[in-house]
Amino acid sequence: GNWAFRHFGSKSWSQSEGQSYNTPYQTYETYVQRDFAPIRGLVTLGDFYTSGQVVEGFALRGIDISSDDRMLSPSQLGFAPRVQGIANSNAVVSIYQNGNIIYQTNVTPGPFVIDDLYSSGYNGDLTVEIL
């Protein structure tokens, strides 16, 4: 992928009762960034703040190589349970979460396994219906 140049800064000026207030331009972050496919992540070079996911974020001048969940396929995000059962005949297996259908497939008689459920973003128990 291509490099993206990013810069964040601010400048403020105000006037009140004939007085003007002018602050110098302040740079917060200036860096280049690109996707790093081998780790499904990002490479960042320059002056930036760390993400603060483990400890409080801090200013850094250098390089950051980090994973990025947005580069993962839906099947790789979150926990997805394995559902297995036995159908006595050709059947439709429906899986519900919080009353919403999240998966449905046709199965043949005998044992079946569903191991490609994607994380739905909902919390709650799953209900499996075999018809």
C-alpha torsion sign, points 108, 113, 118, 121: positive
* Tens of pLDDT, residue by residue, the chain (131 residues): 699 999 999 999 998 888 888 889 999 999 999 988 888 888 999 999 987 777 788 889 999 988 877 777 666 666 678 899 999 999 999 999 888 898 999 999 999 999 888 766 657 788 999 99
Instruction: For the domain covering 74-130, report its CATH number.
Output: 2.60.40.3110
Taking the C-alpha atoms of residue 46 and residue 31, their distance in angstroms, rounded to an integer, is 4
| Coil, strand or helix at 74 | helix
Q: What is the model's pTM? A: 0.50
Domain borders along the chain are 4-71, 74-130
